[in-house]
Structure 1
Amino acid sequence: MLTEPLPDSLLVPFAPGSVWLAGAGPGDPGLLTLLALQGLRQADVIVHDALVGDRILALAAPAARLEFAGKRGGRPSAHQDDITSRLIELAREGHRVLRLKGGDPFVFGRGGEEAEALAEAGIPFRIVPGITSGLAGPAYAGIPATHRSTNQAVVLATGHSNNGGPDWKALAATGVPLILYMAWKALPDIAAALREGGLSPDTPVAVVTEATTERQDTLVTTLGTCVADLEASGLEPPAIIVVGEMVRLRPQLDWLQGQRAGQVPHG
């Protein structure tokens, strides 16, 4: 646990009766921002998601109260309205409230909805961006989100949506690689739609599970076989799924696997 005080020059006011909507990053505590660390150290109450790990929560001040507000697909979860109401209630009681979310609160984290509710209730709040798992997970697997030799754009999309989700055929027609969040269950439909939209079955696919944690694992497959390969892999979510040519760079850039093996990655 870090005990050294943060320099005053790095601190910003965290006033009683306010809420910080902060990203905890993808899992590795080293990827926390300094503002997120300040929030952990100064908050009276920390309302955290399921994907915020124990190593990060251990950085909280000893007097801070932790409240679990996890939302995981297929498991009992807190209702979003209840979470938002709780943030407002805690702030009105005069607490410094840290709403700690995995990744970045504004990237498929429903942070925008919570910020809207706080604004409507007249609660002061601050947004503390975090490193999103859709960029960090592939990077820890040796897969760049963009590379001059493969792609100059990338699409971040969610496979879980209440309004039908993206038009996968239209996205396929752009030829732009995809980084998919929460797409595990929907992958059979997504893969089929992408092929119908013109993507080759040989398009490289990578599935990165438990991004940036000590349990991270990566399956490299293709669009044509990814559903069967994932089913046979024994892997489990949470996962980030990458669809695109930059996956082919992994053998050269897989620094983490090389580090685990005590080697330097090479082509």
Structure 2
Amino acid sequence: MNEKETISSFENYLHKITTSLIDYSPKLISALLILIVGLYAIKFINRMIRKLMQKRGFDPTLTQFLEDIFLWAMRILLFVTFISKLGIETSSFVAILGAAGLAVGLSLQGSLSNFAGGMLIIMFKPFRVGHTIEAQGVTGTVREIQIFVTKLTNANNQTIFVPNGILSNGTIINYSMEGNRRADLVFSVSHDTNIKTAKEILMTVMQNNPTVLKNPEPTVIVKNLTDSSVQLAVRPWATLEDFFQMSSDVLEECKEAFEKAGIVVQPYVREASVVRK
């Protein structure tokens, strides 16, 4: 092939490429316009949805979660529209995407269970951030409700992550939902002790403690009679902030009051039944 034929061949290729680009340019321009307008529209709609949910008082965790779902759903839809406008066949792409989604779903069954549990917790609100709860054998203050796990901090300042799947399906004790909390303290005294006097001493201690609430009123009852002692149940109420300090103070003050009155607190004795032959 001589030089003239090479130049002619190159010109033909260049002409074909130029013609193809000119013919394809309307599709490319319209696809790019759709992509640019779509990205701005998604951003605008996402902002409007966020403001609407905040105005309606939606939970912040639920708001963020719904925002993320909407954002990715709209992005996927925009991408499919974009490649379809370019003339690329989308049926095979959708089939591949569906197969990939099924494979991921099967491999992440546990995570999907936690995801569903997180949705239930966010929607039905058995607890909120800042509440103290007991569940799955642990007790702590809720610091964050994530999509897959709930983050707790216990009294030792240890961080505990509880999967939402088992958390939503198990028993949850919420110590913060009602506002105030009652302590159940037990003192054991001998059978020789005047029960009425002992109860009056315990009531006086609770009435003089500033962290013990007046309403609901504290109570003292006889909880049990054992072979070695009379068990008195002391039940003072306190706010959530004062509960642990109040429980400690009442225990200490009740013991000191008993010592001044000459009442001996009996040690705990485990009762056992003996079968005689």
* Fold shared per TM-score above 0.5: no
Which has more helix, going by share of residues? 2
TM-score interval w.r.t. the shorter chain? under 0.3
TM-score (norm 2): 0.25
Higher alpha-carbon Rg: 2
TM-score (norm 1): 0.26
